[in-house]
Chains A and B, each alone.
Chain A
Amino acid sequence: GAVVSQHPSWVICKSGTSVKIECRSLDFQATTMFWYRQFPKQSLMLMATSNEGSKATYEQGVEKDKFLINHASLTLSTLTVTSAHPEDSSFYICSARKRDSFNQPQHFGDGTRLSIL
């Protein structure tokens, strides 16, 4: 149980394109989902916390207008990288926390590798 699916797993696109990444909790409801960014050989950096039915909370230094997050249901959060540029190329990982389980760990998706040409 507690499976998180991320789609797509890999995307290559031209500079200026907007890219949407989906994060789904397949067998549980998630009121909170998290979006992380990971550069090669580096740790995960939290970008934003996504709460169902409300605005996302962004970490300091993360551009809200650049990385649009929508958490429209208890099983789906999306991250849209708007007008992507080569410096946005990275590995993006989402995680989800089960509803009503504040002391339970997050469950991670398999990540999306984004390459901007």
Chain B
Amino acid sequence: DADVTQTPRNRITKTGKRIMLECSQTKGHDRMYWYRQDPGLGLRLIYYSFDVKDINKGEISDGYSVSRQAQAKFSLSLESAIPNQTALYFCATSGPGQRETQYFGPGTRLLVL
């Protein structure tokens, strides 16, 4: 089984809809991250969390919110989706003792019409 899983893997939604992307990890890591990837722009950090009580904004948090329901679960919400949020979304985790290596999920491909 994969260490970091994301659901759904693909999603098509309409402008104005609320959607949630979910991430679960079995690595026992405290730190979790959400990134988006756009063609030619690399990955950019949306939000990150060091533990259940700690949530921090990343480079491009506007239009997004997150919830850390448990150490193993970190969800990303788009309250009112817009077309320029069409992208590939990745969840990642990291923990001490492994030189802060980040482990990535398989990604969620989101299309906002």
The answer to whether A and B assemble together is no
Chain A contacts to B: CB under 8 angstroms = none
Chain B contacts to A: CB under 8 angstroms = none
